[in-house]
């Protein structure tokens, strides 16, 4: 009973979370077991099987180089997660302290953050990302760094909003009254209570990271063929849509939509679950 | 004539936690009381006793996961539960109304108060806008709001706390109900304003020969504005009777503890029996619901206590007869 | 003198929350701040503990001027000056166990090692009559009364000389209030700590305090021994306030003084006496200037020019 009870309980409380988590989990498993479940090596070209329609030996067909679309889509999850997860880590490591300090102390740091956010809001981030990656080189590492850094102010803003609310709460006042220096108020009292609200944002930011990296690859910057990255695959596949070979671009496109949707639902659902109306267990 | 008769009212909340287990909170466990014509009854209790819930049940305003699990409510000789929702709405708007807590969250912030009073009338009676407006002005005068006709055009946020509360009273009384329920009518009001608002309420109730139920946790309000009082604990009425009688002589240990905990009594007699933790509605004890906190509890309290009568004064306790007068 | 406040003023933009307040608290004394909404009583509590900074005036704690003391130096003094808030649920970090919450002041202000601290924490829990198991719990698992005891224990941890209590029982159920008041009584007897008790509940203030200040719209209208204020209130506002309270006794005779209107907005306060617009005894000169405090007997003062003239204002 009890092993199933918690997932059932969560699903009841937030079907959104359940669906999102299932999708992400599924694709994560695909990433982990990609080598096992892929019928073929993703970069193995079958020159006599170029642009085969889905069915038979190649369930989702082959692309312009004769590579199996299914295997490439499956391996594409590694790129998606391989970018989203480290980028997520960077945005947390930078965004959280930034948000806490900006929200609690205000001052110069807050001003700088707010101005950076203004710039980001005015400037389409895809163009910034494009510019930086184009300038520094299309390596995977660069893409991760750029996305991570670009997103941290946005994450910081979410954290900052939580902190601003917490700053006025009674227990933070009490923490000051007891004699805590500001660094301790931020570390012990503000931070643990602020991240709860910000946690729901993380999957949503990761969804964005997946989208941006695919977009960069699609444009021709970032990860490039023959690497089985969805954006690069869509770029290649776009050429063939007009001539009727729809599957080359469609399946990676669906996978991309699926993962982004999954992350977004996960984030939304997390907000439901962490609703303060429910008693927080604190453990 | 008994205007309102409540018998053995039971209300449960059924919810599922994160572990998917069904948990049932037994919020009302057999509430029985009556209100006569022209009488003001005080419903007293602490948090979780079930006072507001009782009001909602009487008005037919309970929503899932709350569900009436038993009991009867007879108002003006008619059973309320079987009524169709339209009929119930009508009763709620015209015969049995409520003055809710927190005026500033209970008034529609986007509608002028005159319009709200008019709306209250036209929803339940066939009356022209002009007549309704006139009556609205009349009601504002009755609740002693100065410059009534100008005030009709005011927005809720322009009113002070005391005035907003008076507007709520006006809204509850505009359709001339027989019984009005005032749920903590003075929460958030200053001491000086509180007494004035209660005076106005009492005046109106008397003038229109209505009955009222005042829900409160303030014993001072009960002492001076209620003819009879009913004390609630864990969803049951543990004691009820004429106000004077109950204040003079408590027959239930809980009532005794409440009265003993007022600063006045403490000043006279020192700190005596002290309260415990509020009852866990998910895990109520067997037998008497108060026994885990009761100074007099004994083995017999594992049996449900009888409702012992002393004339019009009743107490739900095995030891009601022997509790010495304080 | 543990606390001396002179000419305390706090403005929030246009609003004069505290409008020139003088009072003091002697060692071991219990002083009450009484008033309705807008009186400034809670703000005074925040000012005195330097959780808000004063616009003007001086605050001396244990002989030291703390009005503009740099926060770093103030922190050390906080060991001796503590506060208990009105909201028991909000006053504790929801992610800290009770034990850690009680340990915190000891970590900040003492050199005790971990074992000694935990021993002291257990002592504190005992002192406020909380079972040791409570120390492992989180705030959301405790009732309001228990949480307030925790807040009191936290305030006592560093052996303060003064504790400010801001409406400590207003959010609690009736049957629980007495327990907290009894605890405060015990603590005062044992440790001789001074308390500043802020409340709108007259009955509780009468029970708990030695001296009382009655506040109206940021000014002190009357102050004196609790006994004197409650048996023979002099200022028209104090009389009105006391007459409006409802004792839980149906046989008590109420002699309510008529109340004119409601408390006006604290923005744009008129120059004279703050109560003039609602006072049945007001005359023209009441509106001219703020009335000084008139001495009425032993340490009993009232700020009213009618009283200064010798008029027996509003006998009830």
Half-sphere exposure of B103 (CA within 13 A, CB side): 25
Do residues B166 and B144 touch, judged by C-beta distance below 8 A? yes
Residue C294 forms contact with B (CB below 8 Å): no
Instruction: Name chain A contacts of B20, Cβ cutoff 8 Å.
Output: 5-6, 8-9, 12
Residue C209 forms contact with B (CB below 8 Å): no
> What is the model's pLDDT at position A281?
37
> What is the model's pLDDT at position A282?
31
Percent of chain C residues past pLDDT 70, beyond the cut: 98
> What is the model's pLDDT at position A280?
38
Kindly identify which residue of chain B lies nearest to residue C186, measuring between CA atoms.
B271
Strand, coil or helix: C22: strand
Chain A interface test: which of C77, C86, C95, C171 (most A C-beta within 10 Å): C95
| Average pLDDT score over residue span C190-204 | 94
Residues C122-133 have pLDDT tens digits of: 999 999 999 999
CB atoms within 10 A of CB A107: 10
ipTM of the complex: 0.89
Confidence at A122, pLDDT banded by 50, 70, 90: confident
Residue B17 forms contact with A (CB below 8 Å): yes
Torsion of CA B48, B52, B53, B54, to 10 degrees: 120
CB A283 to CB C140 under 8 A?
A: no
Residues C9-62 have pLDDT tens digits of: 999 988 889 999 999 999 999 999 999 988 999 999 999 999 999 999 999 999
CB C175 to CB B274 under 8 A?
A: yes
Do residues A272 and C86 touch, judged by C-beta distance below 8 A? no
Instruction: Name chain A contacts of B16, Cβ cutoff 8 Å.
Output: 9, 12
In angstroms, the CA B192 to CA C243 distance is 8
Instruction: Name chain C contacts of B196, Cβ cutoff 8 Å.
Output: 259
CB C94 to CB A188 under 8 A?
A: no
Residues 6+ apart with CB under 8 A from C142: C98, C134, C150
CB A281 to CB C138 under 8 A?
A: yes
Say whether pLDDT at C315 is over 70: no
Residue A195 forms contact with C (CB below 8 Å): no
Chain A interface test: which of B15, B18, B280 (most A C-beta within 10 Å): B18
Give φ, ψ of C200 to 5 degrees: -100, -5
CB C138 to CB A176 under 8 A?
A: no
CB B46 to CB C263 under 8 A?
A: no
In this complex, which of C146, C204, C247 lies closest to B220 when CB atoms are compared? C247
Confidence at C5, pLDDT banded by 50, 70, 90: very high
> What is the model's pLDDT at position B149?
87
Kindly identify which residue of chain B lies nearest to residue A6, measuring between CA atoms.
B19
Residue C206 forms contact with B (CB below 8 Å): yes
Instruction: Name chain C contacts of A178, Cβ cutoff 8 Å.
Output: 78, 82, 104-105, 108, 154
In angstroms, the CA A188 to CA A191 distance is 6
> What is the model's pLDDT at position B198?
93
Say whether pLDDT at B104 is over 90: no
Kindly identify which residue of chain A lies nearest to residue B17, measuring between CA atoms.
A9
> What is the model's pLDDT at position A190?
93
Highest-scoring range by mean pLDDT, A184-198, B84-98, B220-234: B220-234
> What is the model's pLDDT at position B35?
95
- Min Cα distance A104 → chain C (Å) is 15
Kindly identify which residue of chain C lies nearest to residue B278, measuring between CA atoms.
C143
User: Is the whole-model pTM more than 0.90?
Assistant: no
Residue A5 forms contact with C (CB below 8 Å): no
- Min Cα distance C114 → chain B (Å) is 32
Count of residues for chain C?
A: 316
Interface partners of chain B (CB pairs < 8 Å, 3 or more) are A, C
Q: Name residues 126-145 of chain C within 8 A of B (Cβ).
A: 143, 145
In this complex, which of A176, A179, A282 lies closest to C95 when CB atoms are compared? A282
Residue B22 forms contact with A (CB below 8 Å): no
CB C51 to CB A177 under 8 A?
A: yes
Instruction: Name chain B contacts of C259, Cβ cutoff 8 Å.
Output: 192-193, 195-196
Instruction: Name chain A contacts of C49, Cβ cutoff 8 Å.
Output: 177
> What is the model's pLDDT at position B324?
62
Confidence at B117, pLDDT banded by 50, 70, 90: very high
Interface partners of chain A (CB pairs < 8 Å, 3 or more) are B, C
Instruction: Name chain B contacts of C35, Cβ cutoff 8 Å.
Output: none
Residues C254-278 have pLDDT tens digits of: 888 877 777 777 777 778 888 888 8
Strand, coil or helix: C11: strand
Instruction: Name chain C contacts of A193, Cβ cutoff 8 Å.
Output: 93-95
CB A170 to CB C75 under 8 A?
A: no
CB atoms within 10 A of CB A54: 15
Say whether pLDDT at B275 is over 60: yes
**Beta-carbon pairs below 8 A across chains A and B:** 18
Confidence at C304, pLDDT banded by 50, 70, 90: confident
Residues A210-259 have pLDDT tens digits of: 888 888 888 888 777 788 889 888 988 888 888 888 888 999 999 999 99
Residues 6+ apart with CB under 8 A from A245: A51, A53, A61, A237
DSSP assignments along chain C, one per residue: --EEEEEEEEEETTEEEEEEEEEEE-TT-EEEEE--TTS-HHHHHHHHTTSS--SEEEEEETTEE-TT--HHHHHHHGGGEEEE-S-TTTSS-TTS-HHHHHHHHHHHH----HHHHHHHHHHHHHHTT--GGGGGS-GGGS-HHHHHHHHHHHHHTT--SEEEEESTTTTS-HHHHHHHHHHHHHHHHHH--EEEEEES-HHHHHHH-SEEEEEETTEEEEEEEHHHHHHS--SHHHHHHHHH---S-TTSPP-PPP--S-PPPSBS--SS-TTGGG-TT--GGGGTSPPPPEE-STT-EE--HHHHTT--TT--
Percent of chain C residues past pLDDT 90, beyond the cut: 70
> What is the model's pLDDT at position C314?
62
């Amino acid at each position: 009973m009890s092993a199933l009870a918690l997932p059932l309980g969560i699903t009841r409380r937030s079907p959104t979370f359940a669906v999102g988590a299932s999708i992400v989990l599924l694709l994560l498993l695909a990433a982990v077991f990609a080598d096992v479940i892929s019928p073929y090596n993703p970069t193995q070209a079958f020159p006599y099987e170029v642009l085969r329609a889905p069915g038979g030996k190649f369930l989702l067909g082959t692309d312009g180089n004769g590579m199996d679309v299914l295997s490439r889509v499956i391996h594409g999850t590694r790129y998606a997660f391989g970018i989203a997860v480290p980028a997520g880590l960077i945005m947390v490591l930078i965004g959280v302290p930034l948000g806490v300090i900006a929200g609690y102390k205000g001052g110069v740091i807050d001003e700088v953050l707010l101005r950076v956010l203004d710039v980001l809001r005015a400037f389409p981030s895809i163009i910034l990302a494009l510019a930086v990656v184009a300038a520094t080189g299309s390596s995977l590492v660069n893409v991760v760094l750029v996305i991570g850094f670009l997103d941290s102010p946005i994450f910081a803003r979410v954290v900052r909003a939580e902190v601003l609310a917490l700053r006025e709460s009674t227990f933070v006042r009490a923490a000051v009254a007891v004699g805590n220096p500001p660094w301790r108020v931020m570390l012990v009292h503000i931070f643990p209570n602020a991240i709860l609200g910000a946690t729901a944002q993380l999957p949503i930011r990761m969804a964005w990271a997946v989208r941006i990296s695919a977009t960069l690859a699609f444009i021709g910057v970032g990860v490039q063929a023959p690497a089985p990255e969805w954006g690069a695959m869509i770029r290649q596949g776009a050429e063939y849509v007009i001539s009727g070979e729809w599957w080359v671009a469609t399946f990676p496109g669906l996978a991309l939509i699926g993962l982004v949707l999954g992350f977004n639902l996960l984030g939304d659902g997390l907000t439901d679950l962490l609703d303060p109306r429910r008693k927080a267990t604190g453990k | 004539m008994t205007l309102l008769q409540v018998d053995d009212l039971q209300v449960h909340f059924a919810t599922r936690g994160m572990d998917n287990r069904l948990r049932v909170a037994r919020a009302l466990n057999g509430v029985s009381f009556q209100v006569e014509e022209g009488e003001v009854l005080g419903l007293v209790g602490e948090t979780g006793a079930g006072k507001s819930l009782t009001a909602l049940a009487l008005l037919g305003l309970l929503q899932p996961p709350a569900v009436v699990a038993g009991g009867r409510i007879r108002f003006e000789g008619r059973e309320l539960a079987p009524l169709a929702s339209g009929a119930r709405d009508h009763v709620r708007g015209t015969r049995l109304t409520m003055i809710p807590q927190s005026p500033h969250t209970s008034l529609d912030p986007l509608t002028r108060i005159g319009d709200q009073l008019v709306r209250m009338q036209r929803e339940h009676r066939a009356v022209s806008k002009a007549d309704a407006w006139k009556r609205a002005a009349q009601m504002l005068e009755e609740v002693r709001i100065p410059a009534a006709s100008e005030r009709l055009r005011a927005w809720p946020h322009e009113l002070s706390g005391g005035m907003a509360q008076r507007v709520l009273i006006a809204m509850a009384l505009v359709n001339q109900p027989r019984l009005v329920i005032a749920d903590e009518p003075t929460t958030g009001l200053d001491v000086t304003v509180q007494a004035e608002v209660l005076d106005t309420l009492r005046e109106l109730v008397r003038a229109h020969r209505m009955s009222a139920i005042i829900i409160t946790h303030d014993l001072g309000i009960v002492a001076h504005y209620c003819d009879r009082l009913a004390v609630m604990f864990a969803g049951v009425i543990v004691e009820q009777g004429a106000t004077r009688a109950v204040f003079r002589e408590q027959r239930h240990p809980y009532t005794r503890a409440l009265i003993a905990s007022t600063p006045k009594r403490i000043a006279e007699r020192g700190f005596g029996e002290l309260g415990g933790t509020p009852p866990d509605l998910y895990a109520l004890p067997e037998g008497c619901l108060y026994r885990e906190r009761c100074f007099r509890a004994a083995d017999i309290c594992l049996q449900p206590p009888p409702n012992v009568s002393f004339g019009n004064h009743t107490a739900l306790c095995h030891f009601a007869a022997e509790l010495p007068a304080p | 003198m543990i606390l001396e406040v002179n000419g305390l003023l706090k403005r929030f933009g246009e609003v004069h929350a505290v409008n020139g307040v003088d009072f003091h608290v002697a060692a071991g004394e219990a002083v009450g701040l009484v008033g309705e909404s807008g009186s400034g009583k809670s703000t005074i509590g925040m000012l005195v503990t330097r959780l808000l900074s004063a616009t003007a005036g001086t605050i001396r704690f244990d002989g030291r001027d703390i009005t503009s003391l740099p926060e770093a130096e103030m922190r050390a003094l906080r060991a001796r000056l503590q506060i208990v808030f009105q909201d028991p649920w909000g006053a504790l970090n929801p992610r800290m166990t009770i034990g850690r919450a009680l340990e915190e002041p000891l970590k900040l202000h003492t050199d005790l090692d971990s074992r000694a601290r935990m021993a002291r924490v257990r002592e504190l829990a005992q002192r406020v009559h909380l079972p040791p198991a409570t120390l492992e719990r989180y705030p959301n698992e405790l009732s309001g009364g228990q949480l307030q005891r925790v807040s009191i224990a936290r305030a006592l941890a560093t052996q303060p000389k003064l504790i400010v209590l801001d409406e400590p029982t207003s959010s609690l159920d009736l049957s629980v209030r007495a327990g907290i008041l009894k605890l405060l009584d015990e603590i005062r007897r044992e440790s001789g700590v001074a308390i500043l008790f802020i409340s709108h509940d007259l009955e509780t203030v009468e029970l708990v305090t030695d001296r009382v200040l009655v506040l109206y719209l940021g000014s002190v209208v009357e102050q004196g021994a609790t006994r004197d204020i409650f048996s023979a209130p002099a200022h028209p506002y104090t009389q009105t306030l006391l007459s409006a309270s409802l004792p839980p006794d149906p046989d008590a005779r109420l002699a309510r003084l008529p109340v004119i209107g409601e408390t006006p907005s604290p923005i744009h306060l008129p120059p004279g006496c703050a109560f003039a617009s609602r006072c049945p005894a007001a005359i023209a000169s009441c509106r001219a200037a703020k009335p000084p405090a008139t001495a009425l007997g032993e340490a009993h003062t009232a700020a009213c020019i009618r009283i200064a003239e010798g008029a027996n204002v509003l006998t009830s």
